[in-house]
Structure 1
C-alpha cells in the first residue's frame, strides 16, 4: 500500500503540485491505482483480476424446483446491448460513472425494526416483573436479594456481548437488531420456555406418577427441544425482519449467540434465586462459578449453531432455503443441550464434574476459534464480491485491498485521519462491506427488485464516498 521511505523521502517541495493519488506527505494514497489518461485517481479500463469463487460462496448449484427454487432471474452482469438492465451494477462496463448529485444515505433499519425493538423492550420489563413477583411468592427469602441475582446474571451477559461485539467488527450489525436478539432471548424465549417446560413436566408427572421420570424428562428432553425452538424462532424473525443483515454464517452466529446470552440471563436469575433460597450465599457462589463462569457460553453456543447453519444456507442457496433449514438447524444445539443436561443430572462426585466442565471448556475454546475462522471468511467474501465491482470499474483493485483487508483498512483510516476525513472513510468501509453482502444475496436469491434497488443505492453511495474523499484530500477525481 505504501512505498519505502527511500522512494518518497518527504512531501513535495514548495511550489511543486501534489501528484494525483498521493498523500500530503508524498506517499501514495491508500487504494490509489495507477492513473490512466483522462481518469486521474482510477482506471478507466481496469485490468481483470480473478478473485476466485470459494465453494462456500458459489451459488451456481441450487435446487431448481419446489419451495427452494429461485424466485427471481439470476442477477448476472448485464451488457450495454441490453436496453433494460436489471441492476445498476450491471449497467457499468469497466468504467466508473460520475453521479450528478450526492446519493442519499441508505437507511440502516426499517420502521418495523424500531417497532419490534420497542415491543420487545416493553415485553422484557413485563417478563422481569413477572419473575420478580413469582420469586417473591415462591421463595421465603427477602425480595431485596432478587436485584442482586439479576446483577450477577447480567455480568455473564456483558461478557458474551463483549465477545460478540469483537466478532462483529468487520461488518457491524445495526445496534437495534443486536438488541432485538438479546431481548428475544431474555423475554420471549425464556418466558415461553418457562411455561411450556413447567406444563410439560406437570403433564408427565400426572401420566407416570414417577418423580424420577419427570426429573429426567424436564432437563433432558423438554428443555433442549422447547428452549432451542423458542430461541431459534428469534432467528427466523430476524431473517424475515432484516434479511439484509442476515447474510452469512457469522451473522447467524452473532444473532444466535446474543439470543442465547439473553436467555441465559433470565434463566440464571431464576437459578441464582433458587440457590439462594435453599443454600444461602454459598449456594449462589457455587452456581455463579458453575453457570456464570464455567458454563457461561452454553446457551450462546447452542443457539449460535442454529444461526450459523441458517446463515450459511441463506448465503449459498437463498432466503427461502435459509428459512426452511431451521427445522434441521436446531438439531445440533438440541443435542449439545441435551448432552450437557444429561451429564449434569448423572454427575456424581468431583471427578465426573471436573471432566464435564473440562469438556465444556474445550467446546467453548473450539467455539471461539470458529468465530475467528468465520471473521476471516467474512473478510474473504468482502474481497471476492468487491472484486466483482472492481472488474466492472466501480473501484480500483488497490481499493479492494484497502476495503477488504484489515491492514488496508488501518492504512485507509490513518490516511483519512491526516486529511480530517476519518468518519467519511469509516462510512466508505462500512457501506462497501454492506455492498459486498448485497451482491452475494443477489447471486443467491436472484434479481429481487427491492434488493436491486438497494444495490443501486449503495453503488450511488460508493461513488459519493469516493468523490468526497478525493475532495477532502484536494485531489482530482
Structure 2
C-alpha cells in the first residue's frame, strides 16, 4: 500500500511534452527481480554453509528451535506499527535480507577476518576475542543496516518516522538472529552427539537454547533498532534543512548499535557472572527504555491525528466523528470489524487504507506546521486527500460506528442532598 498514490500527471514531461520513459535498469520490475534473485541466491548459499557446519540432523534441530521466537517478534513489531502499518512487502524484504544476505555477509567476513587476525598474531584465542568484540559487531550491524538504508532510499514514502525505522530494523535483525540461531543450536546439538550427552537440561543444546531463545531473543533486534531510530529521526527532517544532521543521525545510530553489540559480546570475558551482570544491569533496562520510547512515539502519533484532522473536518473533507475515531486504536479496530461484517474483505481493506492515509495526512500536516514537510507538501497533501475521498463510501459509516462504540459513556451526576457531590458516588465517565 503506497501512502502517496502516484498520478501520471505529476511526472515531469520531457522536451516536446512526452512523459519520459525510465531506462531499463530504473524500471521497478527490473529492480524487484534483481533484488529477489540476489536474496534467493544468498539464501541458497547460506543454507549450504550452515548445513555444512552443523550437518543435516543438526540443521533440522537448529531450524526447529530457532523458528520459535520469530512469530512472537514479528507480531510485536507489527503491533507497534498498528497506527500506520507499513506494507507487508517491506516486512518480507527486511526479514529475508537479515536471514539471507546479512547472514551470508557476516559469516564470510567474520571468518575471513578472524583467520587473518589468527595468522597475523599466531594467537587463536586472541583472534576469537577480537573477532567477537570488534569484527563481528562492525560487520553484522553494517550488513543489517543495509536493509534499513535500502528501504529508506527506495521506499521513502513508506518511511515516516521513528516507529517505521524501529520496525524495519527490528524485523531485519529478527531474520539475522534466526539464521544465526540455527547455526549455534545446530553446532550445540553436534557437540552433544559427539560427547554422547542426551537431550536433557544438562546438554549444550539446552544451555544454548536457554541463553539465545529464552533469555535474549531480543538482543539482535535491540542493537539494530538503534540504527533504525537514527534513520527514523532523519526521515522526519525537512529535505532542505539540516542535511549534515540527516546524514549523521543514521551514522550515529549505527555506531551506537555497534558499540552495544560489542559490549554484549564482550560480556562473556568479564568473568563467570559477567554475562548475567551485563544482561540484568544493561540489556534489560535498555530494552525497557527503547520499548517505552517506541510506545510513546506511537501515542504521540495518535495525539497528532486527533489534533490535526479537525481542520479537514471544517473544510468538508472528513466527517465530524473521524478525528476521534482515527485517533483511537479501539475505534479503528471496531471500524474495520464493522466494515468486514457488512461489506466483506473489500470494505475492510478500504477502511484500513483510509485509516493509514488519514494518519499519514495528519502527520504530514503536523510536520508542515513545524516547517519540516518539504517543498512538495501541497502536492502530497492533495494526493492523500484524493485517496481519502475515493474511499469515503466504505469508511465514513464504519468510522462513525467505531467512534460511537469506543466513545466514553457519560453518566448523569448522582443527586446526594441539596447539591451535587463529586465524591466517590459521582462517576461522570465510565470507560
Same fold (TM over 0.5): yes
Deviation at 1:364, TM superposition (A): 3.0
The structure carrying a bigger helix percent of its residues is: 2
Cα distance change, pair 440–267 in 1 and its aligned pair in 2 (3 A)? farther
Equivalent in 376, 388, 402 of residue 299 of structure 2: 376
* 1:209 partnered with 2:131: no
**Contact residue 271 and residue 287 of structure 1 kept, 8 A:** yes
| Of 136, 141, 157, the match for 1:228 | 141
8 Å contact from structure 1 (residues 183, 262) kept in 2:
yes
Q: 1:385 to 1:116 in 2, by over 3 A?
A: farther
The TM-score with structure 1 as length reference comes to: 0.67
1:326 corresponds in structure 2 to 250
Deviates more, 1:157-166 or 1:421-430: 421-430
Is the Cα contact below 8 Å between 1:275 and 1:283 reproduced in 2? yes
Equivalent position SS for 2:48: helix
Q: Aligned residue for 1:167?
A: 80
Structure 1 residues 402 and 272: CA distance shift in structure 2, 3 A:
same
Counterpart CA distance in 2 for 1:162 and 1:414 is: 20
Offset, 1:460 = 1.1
CA RMSD of aligned residues (A): 3.1
| TM-score, length-scaled by structure 2 | 0.73
Residues 360-413 of structure 1: per-residue CA shift (max 9 Å, x gap): 334333333333222212323433443454465433554212212224425544
- The structure with higher relative contact order (CA 8 Å, sep 6+) is 1
C-alpha change, 1:328 and 1:387, in structure 2 (3 Å) is: farther
How far apart are the structure 2 equivalents of 1:379 and 1:117? 35
Decide whether aligned partners of structure 1 residues 285 and 318 sit closer, same or farther in structure 2, where only a CA change above 3 A counts.
Answer: farther
Q: Which blocks of at least 5 consecutive residues in structure 1 are unaligned?
A: 1-85, 87-109
Q: Deviations over 1:225-246 (max 9, x none)?
A: 1111111121111101111111
Match of 2:262 in 1: 338
Contact 1:256/1:303 (<8 A) preserved? yes
Give the drift of 1:444.
3.0
After TM superposition, the structure 1 = structure 2 runs for residues 347-362 of structure 1, keeping only pairs within 5 Å, are: 347-348=271-272, 351-359=273-281, 360-362=283-285
Cα distance, 1:441–1:184 mapped onto 2, change above 3 Å: farther
Q: Distance in 1 between matches of 2:316 and 2:187?
A: 63
* Alignment-derived partner of residue 299 in structure 1: 220
> In structure 1, what is the equivalent of residue 358 of structure 2?
432
Number of aligned residues? 357
- The superposition leaves residues 149-196 of structure 1 with CA deviations (integer Å, 9 ceiling, x where unpaired) of 112111122221121121121111100111111111111111111111
- Give the match for residue 245 of structure 1: 158
Assess, with a 3 A threshold, how the Cα gap between structure 1 residues 130 and 165 changes in structure 2: closer, same or farther: same
